[in-house]
Amino acid sequence: MGWEWVTRGLVNQKLRGINSKAWWPVTPYQKVGSPDNIIFHVDDINNFQMPGSYFQAFGRIVIGKGTYIAQNVGIITANHNLQNLDLQAEAKPVSIGEKCWIGMNSVILPGVELGPHTIVGAGSVVTKSFVDGHCVIAGNPAKVIRHLS
């Protein structure tokens, strides 16, 4: 599977110019903005093969080792300025701890920090940090629905 990702990534990134600034293979069905602001362990390159995901990365995005990110997940580091929608608000970093799982169709908003082993339920909107980790969060806005031992 890895060679297939690399080959597809090279064709789409280098020849077609899709996500061309990323140094790693990214599926053409995903949007990676400012790849220099994304930090992840190379063993977790599978996170960049899920269709529909969006890594905005105006600010720094850190993804801990062993984390899984499902399809159609949005990780956002900057929103529009509420007073002037033509402008971006200041970017805030997003940090995802080790061995987390971000469920399908979830959105993680600017400034969020998720501690280790945080499970984000499908379709959740994470608006605040859960730095202690070891929990399942879900909903809009996301809240702890279960602690993990």
State yes or no: is 134 an active-site residue: no
Q: In the block, which residue shows the tokens 């990534």?
A: 9
Cβ proximity of 100 and 119 under 8 Å:
yes
Q: Which residues does residue 136 pair with via DSSP β-bridges, in sequence order?
A: 119, 146
Which residue out of 41, 80, 117, 134 is catalytically annotated? Answer: 80
Report the chain's terminal Cα–Cα distance, integer Å: 34
Which tokens hold the place of 50?
């899920």
CA within 13 Å, CB half, 142: 29
Nearest in space to 43 (alpha carbons), one of 68, 18, 20: 68
Q: Give CA–CA dist 11/18, Å, rounded.
A: 9
What gap in Å lies between CA 68 and CA 48, rounded to an integer? Answer: 10
Q: Could you give the residue numbers annotated as active site?
A: 80
